[in-house]
Every structure is written in structure tokens, then in C-alpha cells.
Amino acid sequence: MLNIDLYIGLSLIRRPSAAEHSQATLFVDAFKQSPVSGSRFWRGSASLDELLALLGRFLGRTRAREAMADYARQRGVKTVELLPADGATVHHAESLLTGAVGSASARVMIASVVEEEPLNFGEVMHIIDDASQVLAYSRRLEQQSRELEAATTELRDANVRLRELDQMKDDFISTVTHELRTPLTSIRAFSEILRDNPTLAQAQRENFLAIIIRESERLTRLINQVLDLAKLESGNTAWQFNQFDLREAIEESVNAMGQVFRDNRVTVQTHLPANAPDIVADRDRIMQVLFNLLSNAAKFCIEGEGRIRVSLTQGERVLRVDVADNGIGISPEDQAIIFDKFRQAGDTLTQKPKGSGLGLAISRTIVEHFGGRLWVASRLGSGATFSFTLPLMRNAAPRPAPGAAA
């Protein structure tokens, strides 16, 4: 009987072609292969050099040699080269590799250097399981990495937006500072001039005093508007909800501005329907919008022969107000910026336009608060029409024309 506990042919064969290749033929008893013991014996022939090269690849050349030298000492062999490439050596190499690449991969790699080693079905299944686990894991990793990447992009975008907002805030403060300091500069300079030059001619005194008063008014207006806008934007505005007739509001605002129109020699025409349903909004705020649009129109009309046309029309769900002037018009580029804070049409011209540059920003905020829209239509050279809408109440009954029979 064959002694199944012993390797047969444990001889070291020197290949004539490669003298340094130590080679051994290994046999193992199939009955001895027990999964419980954890010892797997290899059958077939292996080259010690190939095992070392394989280990070196994953553990590093030095570490691989040291690990195998330890193993050689355990087996009572003097050097690694004298180590027999037998089943035990191959198994040890496999266990070393397992630590680095996982058991299934180690098994496949070792099989690649062990000739004539057939993998049995169970092993193949194990390898496949192992590999599919690795695949699933790497898919999960990939998915997570994609999610992480998306999150990173989102964060980066948010950061950019925050920085833009911060920049906008800085720009705003810087602009407000400039706009506040400018009238203050004239007020202080002319006050000191008047104080230090008591013998100024009457006409000059009056001119300087008029400038001080005008610039004080400009400063007051600006402060009020900056505060108003800050209040609107912070959401701390106490909005009123009044039910009112927009036609009346338009007539009232046009009448209230009569002096401004006369001073600027502007004629105003109103085109109001005989009746219109009430709307619900903050009446004072809507009046503020009307004043803003009317005074803008008066400011930018043709000098001396300004004409403004104010009309109210009823749409399906909204009332629409149009304020048209016959001024120089607004270029498409300027139309895009005039609703921004402190941006005005013709800002680059030598003659700065009048006003704070906040009126339209405030007006748009107000109209949008009540669910409406505010926009401009214009062509350079043929006037501008500012329009806004306000939504109608549901089931709103048209209010009869004043004095009309019910």
C-alpha cells in the first residue's frame, strides 16, 4: 500500500534548462484534504522562484523573502533557495497571499504558478462567490463615490453661490456708503464755505444754501429707501391687506404728482375702464409703486414736451397697469439691469441720472409680494412702458363706475 501520509517523490529536481529553478513534484492524498484542518494540499509541480516572484509582487520583494526565510527556518532549512516547493510551501505561500489579496484571489494566483492543479467545483464556486462579492462591494463603492462626488459638487456650487452673495452684500454696502457720502460731502463743504465766507454775494449764498437743502433731501430719500428695501428683504414688513379700487389709486397718484408734472411740463393721460373689480393688496405700497413709475416716467420724458399715458386693463385673472413715457427709451442691456439695486440706465454717461437707483427694486419686490409681475418694454428712441399686474380676487364682482346706476 502506498503510504498516504507521505509525499512521494519529494525529490528536488533540477531543470537542465534553468538550473536555478528548484522544482518539486507534489502529491497529496485526496483523503487527507480536510476542510476542517484548514490545510489544503496542492498537487502538481510548482517553481519556488515563481512563488517568490508572485509573493514579491504583492508583499514587496524584501518582505516576501523574509517571510519565506522565516518559514524555511521553521522547517529546518538553511536558506529560502533550499526550501522544497512542496505542498506545504505552496500552502504557506497561499496563506501569505491571502492576507494581502483575499483567499479566493490568492487561490487563483497560486493555481497559476502550480502546474496541473485543477480547481474543483466547490472552489470555483467559492471563487465566483468571492469575486461577485468583491464586484458588488466595488459597485457599492462606485455608487458611494458617485454620490460623494455629487455631494461635493453641490457643496462647491453652494459655496460659490454663498461667496457671490457675500460679494453682492459687500458691493451693496460699498455702494450705499458711496451714495451716502456723496451728498454729505456737498452739505459739509458748502456749510463750511458759508461759515468761513460771511461776505459772499447774496446770489452765491442762495445757490449754496439751495444745494445744501437739495442734497439733504437726497440723503433723506436715500436713507429711507435703503431702510425700506432692507425691511422688505428681511421679511419684517407689516403688510396691509386692503380691498380697494385700483382705478381710484391711479387717479389719486396722478393727482398727487400734479406739481411734478407741471414743473417738468409733462402732460398725463389716463385710460381707465368704466368699472373694474377690486383687488386685495397693501394700498399704500401699491401707491408707492405708482409714484415710483410715474416719477421715473416724468424724469425720463422728452424735456419740455413729455407725455405720459397711464392705462388700466382687465385680463382674465389680473388687472394690468401700463405707464408709458415718450422718453429716449432703454436699451436691451439696460433693461436687464434697471431692476437691480443701484443700477440705472445710462449709468456710464457723464451725467449721472437722478434718483437713488433703488425705486424699481423696491417696486418689483412690492408687486411680486402680492403675486403680480413688474416689467419693462422699450426700444431706444421710442419711449418706455413699465407694466405691472396684480391678481384678481376669486369671485370678484366688478365695481360699477362711480355714479352709474346699480
In the complex, the residues that contact another protein under the rule CB under 8 A are 174, 177-178, 181-190, 192-193, 196-197, 211, 214-215, 347-350, 352
Residue 227's identity, in one-letter code, is L
Smaller CB distance to another protein: residue 280 or 337? 337
Spatial contact of 305 and 314, defined as CB atoms under 8 Å apart: no
Which residues have CB under 8 Å from 327's CB, separation 6+?
Answer: 297, 300, 301, 302, 306, 383, 384
- Tell me the CB-side half-sphere exposure of residue 134, using CA atoms within 13 A: 11
HSE on the CB side for 162, CA within 13 Å? 6
- Report the Cα–Cα distance between both ends of the chain, in Å, rounded: 126
User: Least distance (Å) from another protein to the CB of residue 205?
Assistant: 12
> DSSP 3-state assignment of 115?
strand
Nearer to another protein, 196 or 333 (CB): 196
Please report how close the Cβ of residue 345 comes to another protein at its closest, in angstroms: 14
Comparison of 101 and 193: residue with beta carbon closer to another protein: 193
Q: How far is the CB of 208 from another protein (least distance, A)?
A: 8
* In the complex, minimum distance from the CB of residue 333 to another protein, in angstroms, rounded to a whole number: 16
Cell of 361: 427694486
Shorter beta-carbon distance to another protein: residue 134 or 173: 173
Question: Residue 358 CB, nearest distance to another protein (Å)?
Answer: 17
Least Å distance between CB 363 and another protein?
Answer: 26
- Cell for 388? 405691472
214 versus 317: smaller Cβ distance to another protein: 214
Q: In 114-201, where does DSSP find H-type helix?
A: 121-196
Instruction: Tell me how far, at minimum, the Cβ of 270 lies from another protein, in Å.
Output: 35
Q: What is the Cα–Cα distance from 84 to 82, expressed in whole angstroms?
A: 6
Residue number with CB closer to another protein (17 or 348):
348
- Please, are residues 219 and 183 in contact by the beta-carbon 8 Å criterion? yes
Cell numbers placing 232? 422688505
Tallying the residues shown for the chain, one arrives at 406
Nearest-approach distance from CB 200 to another protein, in angstroms: 9
Min separation Cβ 377 and another protein, Å: 27
Which among 213, 191, 246, 177 has a CA at the least distance from the CA of 392?
A: 246
Separation of alpha carbons 164 and 58, rounded Å:
50
Instruction: Answer whether 100's CB lies under 8 Å from 58's CB.
Output: yes
CA-closest candidate to residue 360, choices 225, 262, 179 = 225
Nearer to another protein, 69 or 194 (CB): 194
Closer CB to another protein, 14 or 188, in the complex: 188
Q: Could you give the CA distance from residue 173 to residue 170 in angstroms, rounded to a whole number?
A: 5
Which residues on adjacent β-strands are paired with residue 279?
244
